[in-house]
Structure 1
Amino acid sequence: MRPHVDQRQAQVLALVQARGSVRVAELARELGVSPVTLRRDIEAMAARGEIHRMHGVISRLEPGRIPAVPPAGAAGGAAGRGVESGHRGGPSGASADGLVIGMVVPTTEYYYAEVVRGAREVVEARGARLTVGLTRYLPGEDRTQADRLLSTGADGLLLTPNWDSGSPGPGEGAWAAELPVPTVLVERWAPPGHPAAGLDRVTSDHAHGAARAVQHLVESGHRRIALASRETPTSARLRAGYEAAVAALGLAPAPAWPTAGPGPLSDAEAFARTLDYLHEAVAEGGVTAALIHSDTDAIMLIPRLQARGVRVPEDLAVITYDDEVAGLADVPLSAVAPAKGEVGARAAGLLLDRLAAAGTPHESPRQHLELLPRLTIRA
């Protein structure tokens, strides 16, 4: 063992003996080492019967406590945890026993229910534990939840910040790049030059999904296609893909989306504006098809359009985006479905691989993964 490792472990033992117990995340910050490095020390010390460990906390052994007998090779750090050789020579699929993965998401309902499920399945299959912090899109709550998860012993973070357009605005979000543990952005992206642009990230390619919907509608004979979407973290990428496809396919432009007013719209006002826009686009703008984000808006809009004399699909063919409930409409709707569960699974796997390889020659370059949404056509 190298002298500095001996010294660090002796310091850990002294602090635990003095305090009784200490959180791993707090101890890592105090010693100025990464949580992964410290956890390797803790595994070796626990295997020697010097300390007791549980989720996120280590404590001194009380008199009479019999330390658990480690499996053969457990004191060997990463080599004793069954690291398997994976793609690109990295430790893909390595055991992550005892690791705690924190996940910050806006909600565990609707879209993110599947993202969290995908992450949880991979984390638990690898022997780790997932803990979740919710932000409800409240300003500043993303950082608060990240700090809370770190304070309770998270070894790495899956992070969906509250960035209104899906990417940070000027001066926003730099804190995400300064977190003391490996971090993967989930369904968020940072532009080149932003501090968080160097983080691993896994996202849905929403621009591709929108373009694929436009392409299908053109193949069905439509030449003037509208996009109707409220302002969400997804809408900027949808609009980019939609506009690129309209230009690439030489389509006639749809009427411009109405200019936003001076202040934020209520949900009722935003819905009414979308309804008015689509009605006028069909009645006066020559639009015959639309991509509507999201499914729930489409299901509510269609009967109101029909009440105004717009027949669906005869006058307006509709494809929705998200595919959460599109198949449950009275007339099932064709829809573009991001691979939500797979996004969570890939992000969790990437983070666990990053943790397993930290400080070893197997560390791979940072990755930006974009998963293509799937278009489902329904009669």
Structure 2
Amino acid sequence: MRESAAERHDRLLGLVRERGSARVSDLATLLGVSTVTARRDVEELAGRGLLDRVHGSVSWPRDAAGPADGAAPGPAGGGPVLGMLAPSSTYYFAEVIRGAHEAAARAGARLVLRISDYRPQEDQARTEGLLSAGAEGLLVAPGWQDPGDPAAFGDWIASLPAPTVLLERRPAAGSPLDGLDRVCSDHAYGVLLAVRHLVRLGHGAPLLMARADSPTAVAVRSGYAEALAVLGLRAPQDVIDSVPSELFPDAFEQAVRALREAVLTGVATAALVHNDVDAIQVVQRLAELGVRVPDDLALIAYDDEVAALADTPLTAVAPPKREVGRHATELLVERLGQGAGAPRRHLTLLPQLRVRGSCGARNHP
């Protein structure tokens, strides 16, 4: 299976984090890619503020979280050390991490980061490593992907010996994890914004084309059913299952052709696509197959990571990723100051709809 760009970015960040700094040519060798590819990756990650780049070398940002391995002294001001477990340091979670780091810096705390690479079976060991590195409180976004992962790889979180805040994870109601502090985006609300916007533009119920490989994807799918029920609509057909095109090109082509068929047969004139990397590729392939966005199909993407960069900028639902990281860190710092007796909190933040050209409307109604 070919490695995705996001997986390669995480490996690159891990190498720089371990070494403190590295030459781009050395990173290319270690990653097994060309120097051109490594340089392009470095430029993208530096543009996101995840790396510092100087004269052919890169280094871990001086104001960012330090190496995750080994105990380290706390901040100069004596503030707490906060541990953060994230499934990725790129795409969606790059902004979550950025928000957490900014909030930690404002609080005089030090943030220590570990990445799980969406391997939930390794989450517990990585989190224990954060505690060994001196973390006094924990921000935890488990690397769950499948619906059964919370039950299979989640019980340990409720028994952690330090104050813990869940990030962008909504465990089953009544489960041990449901009693923890958490900060989440309300993806059902985000989907409702998208569906309602398309309906107001005169479309019937939009199709959903979505992945099923992350908690966000699962929430988008369930939110789609809820949105249709709220608006008194019926799905024009079953959800079109999407997959990463670079990993499963044949299955991705099949999904695009299913969407094209729905457009050509009049089943639907609008679609919501999760995520926006997939959405950009869907729009490109549809154009090659004779279906134009927004002329033949109004389209809204979900995530708003790169949606604005498409040839036709994509209208997109934007979860408040940076604010999730910021509020979760502020809640954790507050929890450390209050002690165990303070009431727990579930904070839900609302996504926004950013209207661009792909649904044929320039202004939010």
**Band of TM-score, shorter chain:** 0.7 to 0.9
**Mapping of residues 122-137 of structure 1, within 5 Å:** 122-137=103-118
| Amino acid in the other structure paired with 2:197 | H
Q: Who wins on radius of gyration, i.e. which is larger?
A: 1
In structure 1, the partner of 2:22 is: none
For residues 187-220 of structure 1, the C-alpha deviation after alignment (integer angstroms, 9 at most, x for no partner) is 1111122111111000100111011100000000
**Residue 196 (structure 1) aligned with residue 177 (structure 2):** yes
In structure 2, the partner of 1:371 is: 349
Report the Cα distance in structure 2 between the residues aligned to 1:128 and 1:169, rounded to whole angstroms. Answer: 29
Instruction: Give the drift of 1:140.
Output: 1.5
**Residue 307 (structure 1) aligned with residue 325 (structure 2):** no
Unaligned runs of 5+ in 1: 1-52, 57-67, 69-95
Report the Cα distance in structure 2 between the residues aligned to 1:307 and 1:281, rounded to whole angstroms. Answer: 16
Report the Cα distance in structure 1 between the residues aligned to 2:192 and 2:107, rounded to whole angstroms. Answer: 36
Q: Taking structure 1 as reference, are residues 290 and 115 closer, same or farther at Cα in structure 2, changes over 3 Å only?
A: same
Report the Cα distance in structure 2 between the residues aligned to 1:328 and 1:245, rounded to whole angstroms. Answer: 27
In structure 2, the partner of 1:245 is: 227
Q: TM-score, normalised by structure 1?
A: 0.70
In structure 2, the partner of 1:138 is: 119
Unaligned runs of 5+ in 2: 1-70, 358-365
SS at match of 1:304: helix
Instruction: Give the drift of 1:237.
Output: 1.1
**Mapping of residues 59-70 of structure 1, within 5 Å:** none
Q: Taking structure 1 as reference, are residues 161 and 151 closer, same or farther at Cα in structure 2, changes over 3 Å only?
A: same
**Residue 357 (structure 1) aligned with residue 338 (structure 2):** yes
Give the conservation status (yes or no) of the 8 Å contact 2:210–2:241: no
SS at match of 2:348: strand
In structure 2, the partner of 1:11 is: none
Q: How many residues align?
A: 284
Report the Cα distance in structure 2 between the residues aligned to 1:179 and 1:332, rounded to whole angstroms. Answer: 44
**Residue 289 (structure 1) aligned with residue 270 (structure 2):** yes
SS at match of 1:170: helix
Report the Cα distance in structure 1 between the residues aligned to 2:241 and 2:141, rounded to whole angstroms. Answer: 29
In structure 2, the partner of 1:257 is: 239
Q: Taking structure 1 as reference, are residues 207 and 270 closer, same or farther at Cα in structure 2, changes over 3 Å only?
A: farther
Give the conservation status (yes or no) of the 8 Å contact 1:99–1:128: yes
**Residue 102 (structure 1) aligned with residue 83 (structure 2):** yes
Give the conservation status (yes or no) of the 8 Å contact 1:230–1:270: no
Q: Taking structure 1 as reference, are residues 296 and 283 closer, same or farther at Cα in structure 2, changes over 3 Å only?
A: same
Report the Cα distance in structure 1 between the residues aligned to 2:354 and 2:240, rounded to whole angstroms. Answer: 29
Q: Taking structure 1 as reference, are residues 168 and 192 closer, same or farther at Cα in structure 2, changes over 3 Å only?
A: farther
Q: Taking structure 1 as reference, are residues 120 and 205 closer, same or farther at Cα in structure 2, changes over 3 Å only?
A: same
In structure 2, the partner of 1:213 is: 194
| Amino acid in the other structure paired with 1:334 | T
Report the Cα distance in structure 2 between the residues aligned to 1:242 and 1:337, rounded to whole angstroms. Answer: 16
SS at match of 1:143: helix
| Amino acid in the other structure paired with 2:73 | H
In structure 2, the partner of 1:55 is: 73
In structure 2, the partner of 1:336 is: 317
Report the Cα distance in structure 2 between the residues aligned to 1:106 and 1:97, rounded to whole angstroms. Answer: 29
Give the conservation status (yes or no) of the 8 Å contact 2:185–2:349: yes
In structure 2, the partner of 1:182 is: 163
Give the conservation status (yes or no) of the 8 Å contact 2:72–2:133: no
| Amino acid in the other structure paired with 1:353 | E
| Amino acid in the other structure paired with 2:238 | A
Instruction: Give the drift of 1:165.
Output: 4.9
Q: Percent identity?
A: 48
Q: Taking structure 1 as reference, are residues 167 and 197 closer, same or farther at Cα in structure 2, changes over 3 Å only?
A: farther
| Amino acid in the other structure paired with 2:261 | E
**Mapping of residues 20-31 of structure 1, within 5 Å:** none
Report the Cα distance in structure 2 between the residues aligned to 1:259 and 1:228, rounded to whole angstroms. Answer: 6
For residues 241-271 of structure 1, the C-alpha deviation after alignment (integer angstroms, 9 at most, x for no partner) is 21122122222422113689xxxx9532442
| Amino acid in the other structure paired with 2:264 | A
Report the Cα distance in structure 2 between the residues aligned to 1:183 and 1:270, rounded to whole angstroms. Answer: 39
Q: Taking structure 1 as reference, are residues 311 and 255 closer, same or farther at Cα in structure 2, changes over 3 Å only?
A: same
For residues 70-91 of structure 1, the C-alpha deviation after alignment (integer angstroms, 9 at most, x for no partner) is xxxxxxxxxxxxxxxxxxxxxx
Report the Cα distance in structure 1 between the residues aligned to 2:313 and 2:240, rounded to whole angstroms. Answer: 29
SS at match of 1:140: helix
Q: TM-score, normalised by structure 2?
A: 0.73
